[in-house]
Structure 1
């Protein structure tokens, strides 16, 4: 009977040690999974921020592209308006503003009057 009692005592103790070891392995695995989950959550937050920023930058690029198109059209119109006419005198080529043209006409008119 003493042998049987010792056998019963060691079996639960051995079983307890096995369960404790299994519990430690599961606890370590759980910590590993929690850390991975935390890492994925952080990566997800970063990705959401990047997607939001990408949307904003895409809208900004579209706006700037439209502005560039308008400026190119305006530049084209200005270049056409500044294109010299066939019989334009060489002295008029340097005039770039209406004020310069008016001043040149005034000077020429004065030269004619002074004569």
Structure 2
């Protein structure tokens, strides 16, 4: 009976140890998989950071733009600013011509 109890205790400890070894193997495989995924994500992040690095002659207005949509919107806004500037310049030139030539009728 004493031997049987010791054997039962040993068997229980052995089963626990086998379970722990199995779990350790699973966790080791999981750690390996997660380490590979982390490396892949770090490489991807590095590639994205390199692609977002401003070029030497990049205008200040382009800094901070991260998506194509932001870039397109910025181009539209700058295009509208240019158009507004050209209209202002044209209207200013017409106004100057009218001041210098009050008797001439301009067709615009």
The TM tier, using the shorter chain, reads: 0.7 to 0.9
Matched, 1:84 2:48: no
Would you tell me which structure has more helix in proportion to its own residues? Answer: 1
**Counterpart residue number, 1:75:** 45
Count of paired positions:
85
Q: Distance in 2 between matches of 1:79 and 1:47?
A: 47
Matched, 1:56 2:26: yes
Q: Distance in 2 between matches of 1:80 and 1:70?
A: 15
- Flag structure 1 segments of 5+ consecutive residues without an equivalent: 1-30
Q: Distance in 2 between matches of 1:81 and 1:58?
A: 35
**Counterpart residue number, 2:84:** 114
Matched, 1:65 2:35: yes
Q: Give 4+ residue runs of structure 1 displaced > 2 Å after superposition.
A: none
1:38-61: CA deviation from partner (whole Å, max 9, x where unpaired): 000000110111011011111111
Computing the radius of gyration from Cα coordinates, the structure with the larger value is 1
**Counterpart residue number, 2:11:** 41
Q: Distance in 2 between matches of 1:57 and 1:98?
A: 42
1:43-102: CA deviation from partner (whole Å, max 9, x where unpaired): 011011101101111111111011111101100100000101001122211212221111
The alignment partner of 1:63 has SS state of helix
Superposition TM-score, scaled by structure 1 size: 0.70
